[in-house]
Chain A
Amino acid sequence: MRNQPAAATASRPQARAADLTVRRRAGRRRSWLPYLTLLPASVLIASFVVFPVATVFYYSLQQYDVTRPYLNGFVGLDNFRQVLTSDDVFRTSLAVSVKWVGSEVVGQLVLGMILALVLNSAFRGRGLARSLLFSPWAVSGVVVTTMWKLLYNPFTGMLDTVLTRVGLIHAPIQWLSDLDTVFGAVVAAELWRGVPFFAIVLLAALQGIPTDLYEAAAVDGAGRWQAFTRVTLPLLKDAIILATLLRGVWEFNNVDLIYTMTAGGPGDLTTTLPLYVVNQAIRYHNFGYGSALSVVAFAVLLLFAVLYLRLGRFGRDD
């Protein structure tokens, strides 16, 4: 027993050392465990996002035409120089993109807000109305195109037939070939498809607003308009900013509906920047120049997203 303190004294450093070792091991395990768990996702992201994006940046510095390998090679910034200084279609397609995104996002926001407010109120058949109004969101762009092209058909389309019968027009309107109507016609088709997205997002946000806020506003003498502008809108701010940003990016990159409806025509009137990229890279086989256009489009979107979030003070309380 006399030896016990000595033994204890001797074993204490050993125990401390053992404890330290265990802790070190655990620490080491802790230090690589997060990386290990992140690895699968990182590999996927690197393979399917980083590598393709890096490839686009690489090809943007090349003349790369798959059918004319005798012209291929490094061209430095020539592609960018051409995009920014002498490509008229780039300028017009960028302008069409801005017009397209503006029309779609504003139109969808306003109509989506109206729909959400209506669907947020109680009325008989609300469930059915919700299902019907949200259904266009589930329809693919190509199907939307087919449907709207049938509606716009100047020979057999319902739109011209109805307008003629009610006496609003005397001759069929060529909706998709007339300079004055083609852009609006395509915007209308995409609005039909896109409005439900805003309605869903805004309806979800509306249902999260406590009713006692409206009761308090009513006690303070607020009418419906004041309740909307002072209670509803401020509380929907983050949802609106996020939805408009996402929709803005999606609409900027929208190709399916425009491509299948007008192929960017007539005469580039509905050619947006992504559609121009598709034409250059896929139809004209000019992958180098198409990549340079993609890099420029990427920069435009990045700038837009950063400015929009900063100016909108996203996530911050006013």
Chain B
Amino acid sequence: MRTPLSKLRGPAAALLAMLAVACGGGASSGGGSASTASAAPVTITFWDTNAGPDRTPVWQELIKRFQAANPNITVEYTGIPIAQQLQKLQAAIASGAVPDVANPLTSQLSGMVAQDGLLPLDKQFNGWSGKGDIPAPLITSIRALVPDKKLYAIPISGNMTTLYYRKDWIAQKGLKPPTTWDDFYTDVNALNDPAHNVYGFGFRGATGSASQLENWVFSEAGLTTYFDSKGNASIGSQAAISVIQRAVGLYGKQTSKDDITHGFPEMVSEFDSGHAAMIMHNLGSYPQHITALGKDAVGAVTLPALSGGKHVLLNSPNISAMVFKGTKHADAAWKFAAFLAAPDSVSYFNEKIGQIPPNEKVASAQWVKDNAGIQNALATQKQSNTTLVNPPWILPDYSAIESQMEPSLQKMLLGQVTPSQFASDLAGKLATSKRQYDQAHKP
């Protein structure tokens, strides 16, 4: 029987599948992969690629639980700040000093596979009892990211770009929540109060800025494909340029000028300290905003709809467990990866960080129902007029291209580069990368 999910093609179906599963799945189970091996004691290393005061204790708790269930395996935790994690992993693969397991995003997968750094997990996954709990389209989408279509990553957590806004301020001013792009701009203008150091929007102008702008542009311009049939990137289209112009026009007027130096921590801090009425980030910062401002003050919606209610959203990558080819303890490493992807671990981890559990057995957990950000993401996904677009994570240099565009984006904010030049430069880099990749991977 064909389900609505199976009608969707390609990786874009994956997140929808995962979200649909999370929305309507069965009862939560304690599950887990607790198994006690009888082998000799081994020590494996785990690199957390987004270490910090919020997430490190969560991983440490999971490690504690794993070690209790597997007393012969010791897991050594190494935390790496997110800004350096990609280069650390790539350097580790290049030098052969790899961890046994790490938790990078699936958007980084193709680069690490190109470096021949990861262990294929097909055999282990096919023989794993928890296999059926993970949506099959999601697994298919992860396989689709690499040329050999093998499985190198097991998903632990899903995500979605989210617009956070001050619900209390919007209510006080009698405004509508920013569920459409028109409402978004109206709210930004109405809530802007530079005289009191409060701005309508908090722009991400430094690390991660190009990625945020790309999400914004696809959604507001309604771009439903990443490349056209000739291989041109749609970010270079006139529709995209118009949106970039409008978005960049907010800088320095409805945003603080200091936003040009803001990466993730500064942007979140600006919102949480009451200096910005809205920011764009992903579901991962939801708990932080609630802690800082309270549930009644924070609203969380997916990026707004076009007039007519249609949503176009760029997919977000999954946090996944990956096992490295250089591991000397492949069995123990797989056991830990499988433990992280099992229902109990997925539920605990995602509840703590506020992201979407990619596991059927966790879908109907109470905490999932209580998280407004996740619920809004799920509701948007269920709408028939929502289109999900997959970024070209298949290109190993995709994240490097986005990083390269960050200084150019700053120049655009400063008026030294026009939106047209920026869009054309980015589109050119993407098209060249795709052409080179296609040429190298001709069947």
Contact = CB atoms under 8 A, between A and B. Distances in A.
A316 to B, nearest CB: 45
B404 A268 contact: no
A263 B208 CA distance: 12
B206 A155 contact: no
Contact of A267 (B197, B397, B411): B411
A285 B259 CA distance: 27
Interface string B183-219: 0000000000000010000000111000000000000
Interface string B52-95: 00000000000000000000000000000000000100100110
B410 A266 contact: yes
A161 to B, nearest CB: 12
B257 A174 contact: yes
B396 A67 contact: yes
Interface in A119-165: 154-155
- Interface residue tally on B, bucketed by range: 35 or more
B114 interface: yes
Contacts of B408: 267
Main secondary structure on A side of the interface with B = loop
Contact of B90 (A67, A178, A271): A67
B414 A154 contact: no
B397 A179 contact: no
A261 B78 CA distance: 25
Given A67-B114, A69-B115, A283-B400, A155 B197 contact: yes
B407 A268 contact: yes
A70 B436 contact: yes
A283 B87 contact: yes
Contacts of B257: 154, 174, 177-178
A68 B407 contact: no
Interface string A95-138: 00000000000000000000000000000000000000000000
B407 A267 contact: yes
A175 B292 CA distance: 27
A263 B114 contact: no
A95 B170 CA distance: 48
Nearest to B209: A265
A154 B114 contact: no
Given A155-B197, A266-B260, A266-B413, A282 B115 contact: no
Interface string B105-124: 00000111011000000000
Given A154-B258, A264-B407, A284-B404, A179 B87 contact: no
A43 to B, nearest CB: 21
Contacts, number: 98
Contacts of A267: 407-408, 410-411, 413-414, 416-417
A176 B115 CA distance: 37
- Interface residue tally on A, bucketed by range: 20 to 34
B111 A67 contact: yes
Given A68-B436, A70-B436, A70-B440, A174 B115 contact: no
Given A267-B414, A282-B87, A283-B403, A68 B261 contact: no
B399 to A, nearest CB: 9
Interface string A158-201: 00000000000000101011110000000000000000000000
A266 B205 contact: yes
B90 A285 contact: yes
Contact of A177 (B93, B110, B114, B258): B258
Interface of B: 87, 90, 93-94, 110-112, 114-115, 197, 205-207, 256-261, 270, 273, 275, 396-397, 400, 403-404, 406-408, 410-411, 413-414, 416-417, 436-437, 440-441
Given A66-B90, A172-B197, A283-B403, 19 more contacts: A67-B111, A68-B397, A70-B441, A71-B436, A155-B270, A155-B275, A177-B205, A177-B257, A177-B260, A177-B261, A263-B207, A265-B260, A265-B410, A266-B261, A267-B413, A267-B414, A267-B416, A267-B417, A268-B407
6 contacts: A67-B90, A70-B114, A71-B436, A71-B440, A176-B261, A284-B404
